[in-house]
Amino acid sequence: MESNADLVSGENLSGGETGGDRLSSSLSDSQYQQKMQRRKEVQEQRVALASVEKGLIVVNTGNGKGKTTAALGMVLRSLGHGFRVAIVQFIKGAWEPAEKEILSHFSDRLEFHAMGEGFTWETQDRDRDIQKARQAWEKALSFITNPDYKLVLLDEINVALKLGYLPVEEVLAGLEQKPEASHVILTGRGAPAPLIERADLVTEMTLIKHPFREQGVKAQPGIEY
């Protein structure tokens, strides 16, 4: 995740430049140094005030690519700190993602469960999809409530919620059972409004261009799987 310094830098939260940044190129070396010194002082003051530490509910949603990939970055960070992590995939499962192979090297600290059977247009069995989603949620809840797991990733659970496979109220109630210091990440497009309202950190991936849509480029190893 971004550090406190990232959040209070000269960039706004949407990642664009501020008006002051655009003017920086016209400043003299001395003026630029003074500007950066003032910014440094402001950042240090804000970071000093950020004293709260808590487990977070994180939502990665939107139509753009990268929701699961970003979440897996947090997984790797947690594993790097020596934490125990659990991943439950709600939709994927009919194919073997390459990340499952590389993460198998952390089997002493990582639980990885691909509980789905593939995309809904492939399964074409709503009752079975609901059954698999419920099984995945029961597995996920066992990790969410276990204080031994610092981070739990619920991959594509937002899709299960969007399709009505799981009641959002039930998922929200389950999230309330997590230990105070534990983090939970929920990925997938179409995250419902009540979940977004409850989350501590929400990122929406915006689709601008995609090679499959614009160029007919098929899914490739290392990029999509």
| Catalytic positions | 63, 65, 67-69, 77, 119, 121, 156
User: What strands, in cross-sheet order, belong to the sheet with 201-204?
Assistant: 110-114, 85-89, 151-155, 183-187, 57-61, 201-204
Cβ 122 vs Cβ 146: under 8 Å: no
Query: What is the C-alpha to C-alpha distance for residues 153 and 132, in angstroms, rounded to an integer?
Result: 17
Query: What is the C-alpha to C-alpha distance for residues 85 and 39, in angstroms, rounded to an integer?
Result: 37
Q: Is residue 56 packed enough to be buried (19+ CB in 10 Å), middle (13-18) or exposed (0-12)?
A: middle
Question: What amino acid occupies position 76?
Answer: L
Spatial CA neighbour of 172 closest among 198, 191, 150: 198
